[in-house]
Amino acid sequence: MLFEPKEINKVHGGVQKLYRFENGRGASVIRHKGSYGFEKGLWELAVLDGGDDIDYHTPITSDVIGHQTEEQIQTLLTEISKL
């Protein structure tokens, strides 16, 4: 399954893609100067709680996940959608 962002924003000279799932969770996927992986054209993902706050207490991660390819992001989005 290919997930499409619900919202795309320009941030810090780069881009943020916001995803929302039926389970109430979400994800913020960013690529801008200062994000983990920006120099290599890679993405950084944060799991979101039911709102816009980062959830640091999930089985997926306790932090943001940087240096991700498009394919790796889609895999993580699948995992978040199943929480």
Q: Higher model confidence: residue 50 or residue 11?
A: 11
**Which pLDDT band, with edges at 50, 70 and 90, does 1 fall under?**
confident
Q: State the pLDDT at residue 27.
A: 98
Nearest to 83 by CA among 26, 44, 18, 14: 26
9-38 pLDDT per residue, tens: 999 999 999 999 999 999 999 999 999 999
**Which pLDDT band, with edges at 50, 70 and 90, does 67 fall under?**
very high
Q: How many CB atoms lie within 10 A of CB 37?
A: 17
State the Cα–Cα distance between residues 64 and 75, nearest whole angstrom.
15
Cα-based distances in Å from 4 to 9, 31, 40, 79: 14, 16, 22, 15
Q: State the pLDDT at residue 50.
A: 86
